[in-house]
Amino acid sequence: MKKSKIFLLYSISFFIMSTNISNAIGIYDAGIYKKTNNEAKTYQYEEVTFVTGKPVILKGTLTRTKIDKEKENDTLKKEIEKAKKTTNKNNKQKETSKSDPIPQVTNEVPITYKGTKINEKYTLSGGGITLTRDLTISPVNEYYRGQIVQTEEISKIKETITTSGQTYNLDSNLSEISESIVIDKKPAIDYYAGNSNFYKVYTTGTGNTNTGKKLIIQMDGKSSGYDEFWGSTETKIMNYTITTEQEAATNNTSNNNNDNNNNNNGNNNTNNNNNTNAVVNGTYTVKTSQNTIKDLIYSENDPKKISFRGGYIITSQNNAAMEYTYDINGITGKGQSENENLPEIQRLFAPVLTDVQGHYAEEAIKIITSMNGFEMAKKTFLPNAPISRDEFARAVVVTSGIYNPNAKKTTSVLKEELFSDMKKSDSNYNYVKKAVDSKIMIGRDDNKFEPKSPLTRAEAVRILTNSLGLESLIPNGKYNTGFEDESQIPPWAFESAYIAQDIGLIEKGGAFRPNESLTKADASELLLRYINYMTGDLKEDYMQRILNY
């Protein structure tokens, strides 16, 4: 947790939107981007090119269709509900359980639907080179059991590269492009990984591929990333082969020039972009990392005579890094480029709680309450009291960013009532509904949620680890959790207990006390570690281990 004094603050809406482009397919070359206006569709964009035989950073703008993630999710929900009505008309019973607090994956049928059509327009220049690119992508999505396989269909692509009077036009009849990603949708986070490749053929002249100069660029790449409230990261590794083919042999002047260039092993390419007949032949690799990073910062007030001593701030910053290595015409080298936005700042509420000062969980309690994860109307928090199911549901959907009070209302087809023991007038009704709709929690038997019943420590850990979807951390074969009271852990919570101690949600070893009621203080500590994981370890796993950034 960072602590600092900030003298001038401009508060913005609590739900800070990520300026990362949605994880839909697109952006075929390895570039990085930033933008300063969340409402704009235009990004400041840069990528590296080797069309002259040496690295040149092209900079300019990328205008891209803005993806409304909430609208996309609502479309998926409607498609799922339609499928349920078709395949299981007679089963209208809500999923409930006396023990396990999370829903199980039910029988589903694959659903195919179209995503938002994406248009991308690039205008880039640098080092005597200009590039324009215009393409339209129609994603086709196939959903099954919480995952989406997204495949591209390109309906239009145009690309022109101009360097020192030489113009290359992409021949769409000779070129091939393919990309597909799988998105694993978990309650609090989306993980995704994809593969892409292309074979691009550029020609000069009047369009006759037998008389003009050709530029051929092949790429094979992969990507991985995640997207959640506290941040998002996408990393790409793209391997390229670049080749130029000279004009037909009838052009003796060009052939002579090409022979001279070959004898010089491409040295002219390194120093002179005006040599339009230079041969380019080699390979290069580009790695990129595009990130949105949020941090919690404590800001202490300078005046002594003030109603509150300080408060918390959420900062949100976007940064990107690109690094490349190359072996072109026998010349090797490497380079990098970085960019970042000015951090956005949002001040949180400053709750005044009279019974937490000096408590071991004071900081955690104040942070979760300042985010509106706990009710702020009362000055007494009662930190040692058991947390109820509806209180925990509220705290989880708020701290994970699943609940957005500023979200646009959608016409969802999910219109059935919630539970028989909850009314819409209940203060935590909307939070519980969001927790259930997002598959964070389910109700008890008899169509009841039991909102005021206490939550056990095992249930809390099960809910949080399920929201992150880290089942892949479970070792093969037999394993133990390391807790001295392991035998008391319910079977449905055993994997969650292992994951929770592995990622730092709970301390390793000692007693877990799985069936004891969770206190509000311990719930606050648990939720703060949950936030720290999403802002720390998760980010580092993608940024540092893959790109060393």
CA-based nearest residue to 416, from 386, 395, 373, 447 = 447
Given a cut of 80, is residue 10 above it in pLDDT?
no
Cβ(51)–Cβ(215) under 8 Å? yes
Question: What does each C-alpha distance from 532 to 67, 501, 525, 526, 528 come to in angstroms?
Answer: 28, 14, 11, 10, 6
User: pLDDT digit string (tens) for 474-519?
Assistant: 999 999 999 999 999 999 999 999 999 999 999 998 999 999 999 9
537: left (phi over 0), alpha (psi -120 to 50) or beta: alpha
Give the pLDDT score at 165. 79
Give the pLDDT score at 214. 92
Given a cut of 90, is residue 398 above it in pLDDT?
yes
Give the pLDDT score at 267. 40
Given a cut of 90, is residue 2 above it in pLDDT?
no
CA-based nearest residue to 153, from 119, 121, 183, 178 = 178
User: pLDDT digit string (tens) for 356-378?
Assistant: 999 999 999 999 999 999 998 88
Percent of the chain with pLDDT over 70: 81
Contacts of 329 (CB under 8 A, 6+ apart): 53, 265, 266, 269, 279, 280, 281, 282
Given a cut of 90, is residue 4 above it in pLDDT?
no
Query: Among 120-134, 140-154, 259-273, 285-299, whose mean pLDDT is lowest?
Result: 259-273
Query: Among 13-22, 82-91, 337-346, 510-519, whose mean pLDDT is lowest?
Result: 13-22
Q: Six-digit token pair at 479?
A: 């394993």
Q: What is the mean pLDDT of residues 318-336?
A: 96
> What whole-number distance in Å separates Cα of residue 35 and Cα of residue 44?
6
Give the pLDDT score at 486. 95
Give the pLDDT score at 213. 85
Give the pLDDT score at 79. 83
User: pLDDT digit string (tens) for 214-271?
Assistant: 999 999 999 999 999 999 999 999 999 999 987 554 444 444 444 444 444 434 333 4
Cβ(484)–Cβ(508) under 8 Å? no
Cβ(292)–Cβ(318) under 8 Å? yes
Give the pLDDT score at 96. 59
Q: What is the DSSP string of 134-158?
A: EEEE--EEEEETTEEEEE--EEEEE
Query: Among 22-26, 215-219, 438-442, whose mean pLDDT is lowest?
Result: 22-26
> What whole-number distance in Å separates Cα of residue 157 and Cα of residue 93?
49
Q: What are residue 197's DSSP bridge partners? A: 178, 220
Burial of 21 (0-12, 13-18, 19+ CB in 10 A): buried
> What whole-number distance in Å separates Cα of residue 222 and Cα of residue 234?
11
Q: What is the mean pLDDT of residues 76-88?
A: 77
Instruction: Name which residue leads in pLDDT, 374 or 549.
Output: 374
Instruction: Name which residue leads in pLDDT, 276 or 100.
Output: 100
Give the pLDDT score at 109. 81
- How many other C-beta atoms are found inside a 10 Å radius of the C-beta of residue 82? 13
Average model confidence (pLDDT) for the chain? Answer: 84
Cβ(149)–Cβ(168) under 8 Å? no
Give the pLDDT score at 38. 61
| Cα-only R_g, the chain | 28
User: pLDDT digit string (tens) for 186-225?
Assistant: 999 999 999 999 999 999 865 444 557 899 999 999 999 9
With bands split at pLDDT 50, 70 and 90, how would you rate the model's confidence at 347?
A: very high
> What whole-number distance in Å separates Cα of residue 82 and Cα of residue 48?
45
According to DSSP, residue 354 is labeled T
User: pLDDT digit string (tens) for 48-81?
Assistant: 999 999 999 999 999 998 887 778 888 888 888 8
pTM: 0.84
Give the pLDDT score at 55. 97
Q: What angle do CA 209, 215, 218 make, to 5 degrees?
A: 115
Percent of the chain with pLDDT over 90: 61
Given a cut of 80, is residue 443 above it in pLDDT?
yes
> What whole-number distance in Å separates Cα of residue 432 and Cα of residue 67?
27
